[in-house]
Structure 1
Amino acid sequence: MKYLIIVTDGAGDGPIEALGGKTPLEAAHMPHADHYASLGTVGSVCNVPEGMAPGSDVANLSVMGYDPKVYHTGRSPLEAASIGVDLLPTDVSYRCNLVTLSDDEPYEAKTLVSYASGEIPTEESAPLVELIEKELSTDKIHFYTGVSYRHAMVVADGLLHYEETPPHDIPDRVVGDYLPKGEGSEFLLELMKKSYPLLKDHPVNKARIERGLPPANSIWLWGQGKKPALSPIREKYGVDGSVISAVDLIKGIGICAGMESIDVPGATGTIRTNYEGKARAAIDAFQRGKDFVYLHMEAPDECSHQGNLGEKVEALELIDEKIIGPVLSWLEESGEDFRFLLVPDHQTPMRIRTHSADPVPFVLYDSTSPLPADPSRTYTEPAGAKGEFIPHGHALTDRFFTK
């Protein structure tokens, strides 16, 4: 038996007037997804436990089968694992975004222009992080280069009680009310403030401004946590798995779960990603003997954060055409039995441009026991709401592997 989970990150949404009252999933032409929905189980699932923030860390832990209430220790430690940072039990890791802040005003009065510095490529962000490490590191604080705008800071013997805000939650807002809070958090704000003059006039940023691109002129620290202790996926479900994603966080969850992380050249985490390469990597993993592939597609989430409705619909259609179609076609032709789970990790509604904890639709298909075809079963929120509701995402994954 082969097992395939495809995560359409942030795909869940609500009715949108510009789409005639449809959701992006309803508006998107997704014949492959709807084909397997018509032959499988369609329902809705909540991947974010009550009382927890609807982050991709929490939600993807659920989808991978781990109860976040038990296993979640913070976002950044998972990302740190993916870039080879071996945390000690007393280390605290922070996500270190490179962001674009407005010019001229005092730091607290600046506006967050871009949480991703215009999706700065790694070849441009790496020298900026290297400069921050050179100028701001101490014997207890170090900075590590990740991918694009997503990097890490590690504090030895650090504390966890500080309150920070994910920058993707505050687009176009003045940052003063969202800076680190809590007793002792002043050192975080000091690092962020010191980064601005260091980065503002860096040659990388001068060149970006000349090209009409947003400069990566500040760091933004958030998402702290300590090293998690996930039980290996092989012990949990008896499968040997691979994770395929452009996002360090998702890779890190897989690595912490004992899975192989596959790097795909040209995988960006945006709508302009290497779809064909990711599909090929999934097929190759199965051909090499892997039982399980966790294939994560970030683009719908990024489009929602950016407020780009047209591209969110387009991203879903590209995933259907270039990911779901080819990989499922290969599984069908391989002659092996397989199970397929298609699900968003969380909603990222266009109206708020950030994550919500609301339920999301899922499709669960088993090649050994397809249901009688029913075209009313589709990969959409309304169809999911008519089916079974599963209140805990990890329970759906348990069913996927064990039923």
Structure 2
Amino acid sequence: MVKIFVILDGIGDKSCKVLDGATPLEAAKTKNLDYFASKSNGGYVYTVNEQIAPESDEAILALLGYDPHKYYYGRGPLEAYGAGMKFKDGYLALRTNFSTVKDGKLIDRRVGRSLTTRESRELAKEINEKVKLDVPFEFKATVGHRGVLIFKGDFSDNISNVDPAYKKVGRFGVAMAGNLDRLQECKPLDPDKKTKLSANLVNEFVKKSYEVLNKDLINEKRNKKYLLAANIIVPRDAGIILPELPKMKGWGAVVSMPLELGITKLAGMGVLKFDYPEMKSTNVYDHLFKGLKKTIDESIKAIKERKYDKYFIHFKEIDIPGHDNKPLEKKKMIEIIDKRFFKFLRKKVDDLELVVTGDHSSPCELNAHSADPVPLIHYNPKIQKNDDVQRFTEHECIENGSYGKLMGKNILKTFGFI
């Protein structure tokens, strides 16, 4: 019997006006997922703890059974590893966004999600060639507006974020909501000389990247097309250590983003590589739907090949409309996954064990992650159903699930997946 662990990124939501008060999960037509829910036992999950709105990095680690308080050392090194960059302990790695600033104000953290793959790669080349610092660095554009920055040397990661959307609280990055239109100065969080140097270096890079990007020909062309300029790099989630994770033997993984690639590779999973579609136009949702369908197809292919006894399947795309306040798009993505992926799984109901949940909630009307729990169902044809969950929705799993409250780091052990 194959075991399948499915993460629907950012799946949790709240009442949406455009959906007549329903959540995207409640509004979506999901007869295949609901079939599994009607045969499953349900519950709800706080992936890290009940007080914070987690980022995906610490949430994914927790869901795979790794206590983030023990194994999390910042997002930067995980993304760098997933992006195939050379990283040594002591190097300073940060996750970054191409962003738009004007008159000192942060206009858009993601350049309106309109940056093409070609543009981001060319801008990265300009940064690596024209930004001059006293220490060697490498910047790499990854997917869309995303990137990774590495300073090579011996640094401290006890520094604050430049990105106002995520605040460093202890080790973790915590999602913030509200007015996020001012870049933050990177500040040292202790008096050590190395920490001050690290913070100053980040600030210098941000300033010099702006000077290069704001004059770049690509951004001049974007301005003429009335598109937002990708004129600054905004870093966050510094790290200087790549964690050593206990290996998860017998697992295959279908993931598409650098973060999840990094974590699953470190976990020793067999990562099933595929080419995620490049963004060739400024229509990000056209790109996302293509990417979602590609990830579904590759997931089905992997499960059919059955090279592994257990599979970790991650669908990133659902998270994006939560950040963009697009409930209809989130609903449509859920329906596509149901019609394509869960319909396929339904044909194998006697030969699989299934856990479906999310890494965090991304309520559309909040435009950010929240601390709300995510729904969970556990399907095993050999286990009797003990609750009244009939649909995979927030309300049903919280109100009717027999598992009740679960913590992310305990899920796989609870269900015998590890």
TM-score normalised per structure 1: 0.88
Q: Is the 8 A contact 2:26 2:393 kept in 1?
A: yes
- Paired residues in the alignment total 387
Residue type at the aligned position of 1:201 = K
1:378 match = 391
Query: Is the contact between residue 292 and residue 315 of structure 2 (CA under 8 Å) also seen in structure 1?
Result: no
The reply on whether 1:182 has 2:188 as its aligned counterpart is yes
- What SS does structure 2 have at the residue aligned with 1:313? helix
CA distance in 1, matches of 2:211, 2:145: 18
1:232 to 242, 247, 251: 247
Q: Is contact 1:166-1:223 (8 Å) kept? A: no
Secondary structure of the corresponding residue to residue 359 of structure 2: coil
Cα drift, residue 51 of structure 1:
6.0
Q: 2:155 aligns with which of 153, 158, 168?
A: 158
Aligned to 2:170: none
Q: Which moved more, 1:129-138 or 1:76-85?
A: 129-138
For the 8 Å contact 1:167–1:220, the answer to whether it is kept is no
Q: Secondary structure at the match of 2:414?
A: helix
C-alpha distance in 1 between matches for 2:328 and 2:244: 40
Amino acid of the residue matched to residue 394 of structure 1?
K
Query: Which whole-Å CA distance do the structure 1 matches of 2:306 and 2:134 have between them?
Result: 44
Is 1:357 the equivalent of 2:371? yes
C-alpha deviation, 1:78, in angstroms: 1.1
For 1:122, the equivalent position in structure 2 comes to 117
> Is structure 2 residue 298 aligned with structure 1 residue 281?
yes
Alignment of 1:50-199 (within 5 A): 54-102=54-102, 105=103, 109-136=104-131, 138-155=134-151, 156-164=153-161, 166=163, 168=165, 169=176, 173-176=180-183, 178-182=184-188, 184=196, 185-199=199-213
CA contact (8 A) 2:41 2:386 kept: no
- CA shift, 1:172, in A, is 6.8
CA distance in 2 between partners of 1:211 and 1:297 (Å): 32
1:400 matched residue in structure 2? 415
**Of 88-97 and 199-208, the range deviating more from structure 2:** 199-208
- Whole-angstrom CA distance in 2 between matches of 1:179 and 1:370: 55
Q: Compared with structure 1, are the counterparts of its residues 393 and 282 closer, same or farther at alpha carbon in structure 2 (3 Å cutoff)?
A: same
Would you say the 8 A contact 1:33–1:324 is kept in 2?
yes
Whether contact under 8 Å (1:5, 1:294) holds in the other structure is yes
Please point out which of 239, 251, 254 is paired with 1:243: 254
* 1:216 correspondence with 2:234: no
**Which 5+ residue runs of structure 1 have no aligned equivalent?**
none
Tell me if the contact between 1:112 and 1:170 (Cα under 8 Å) persists in the aligned partners.
no
Q: How many Å separate the matches in 1 of 2:306 and 2:394? A: 35
Shift of 1:204: 2.2
Q: Aligned partners of 2:202, 2:329: CA distance in 1, in Å?
A: 35
CA distance in 2 between counterparts of 1:125 and 1:167 reads 22
Say if 1:79 and 1:252, in contact at 8 Å, map to a contact too: yes
Counterpart code for 2:262: G
Offset of 1:290 from its aligned partner? 1.9
Whole-angstrom distance in 2 between the partners of 1:275 and 1:141: 33
SS in 2 for 1:273: helix
Deviation for aligned residue 1:231 = 0.9
CA drift at 1:255: 1.0
Shift in Å, 1:16 = 2.7
Work out whether residues 113 and 172 of structure 1, in 8 Å CA contact, stay in contact via their aligned partners in 2: no
**Aligned with residue 338 of structure 1, among 352, 365, 368:** 352
Q: What is the letter of the counterpart of residue 390 of structure 1? A: K
Residue aligning to 2:37: 37
Is the CA contact (8 Å cut-off) linking 1:43 and 1:363 kept in structure 2? yes
Q: Deviations over 1:302-360 (max 9, x none)?
A: 1111122221222222222233223x14534xx6x211111111011123211112211
Report percent identity of matched pairs.
28
What residue ranges of structure 2 are gaps of 5+ in the alignment? 166-175, 190-195
